[in-house]
Amino acid sequence: MQLEDYFNFLAPNDIRIKGTRVGIETVLYDFIHRKRLPEEIAQSYRTITLEQVYATILYYLHNQEAVSKYLADWMDFAHQQRKAQELNPHPAIIRLRQKLAERKLDSQEQSEISKIG
């Protein structure tokens, strides 16, 4: 079995662990940035095996330059998406924020009333 056999290369910016919907960025982010052990990573995602986690790490080590660029692009995209969501939140998020603000105001009013009484 070749190392690449562990993955589905769906697009230049979409590499998944074969048989799952888990992207290699998920495993590698946990491994590189969160400093999690392969065993911890495998336990966190029920659809991947420890062997697949190790294969992903080995793929990264064998292709470090290309995979590092892949991860950097993925992180940039994620940051752009978060900014876009902050600038243009979903209507449901706006309603939730309004309800939270109303509850906070109600709570403050109740607190003021209890101080008076």
In tens, the pLDDT along 14-41 reads 999 999 999 999 999 999 999 999 999 9
Q: How confident is the model at residue 1 (pLDDT cuts 50, 70, 90)?
A: confident
pLDDT digits over 36-89, tens only?
999 999 999 999 999 999 999 999 999 999 999 999 999 998 888 889 888 888
Which structural domains are found in the chain, ordered by start?
A: 3-87 (1.10.10)
pLDDT band (50, 70, 90) for residue 117: low
Residue that has been written with the tokens 């003021």 in this structure: 112
Q: Report the pLDDT value the prediction gives residue 55, as an integer from 0 to 100.
A: 98
Residues near 53 by beta carbon (within 8 Å), at least 6 away in sequence: 27, 31, 38, 41, 42
| 45 token code pair | 């995602």
Q: What's the CA gap between 9 and 15, in Å, rounded?
A: 5
Q: Are 10 and 18 in contact (CB under 8 A)?
A: no
Who's near 102: CB < 8 A, 6+ residues apart?
none
Sheet strands (E) in the chain: 7-11, 14-17
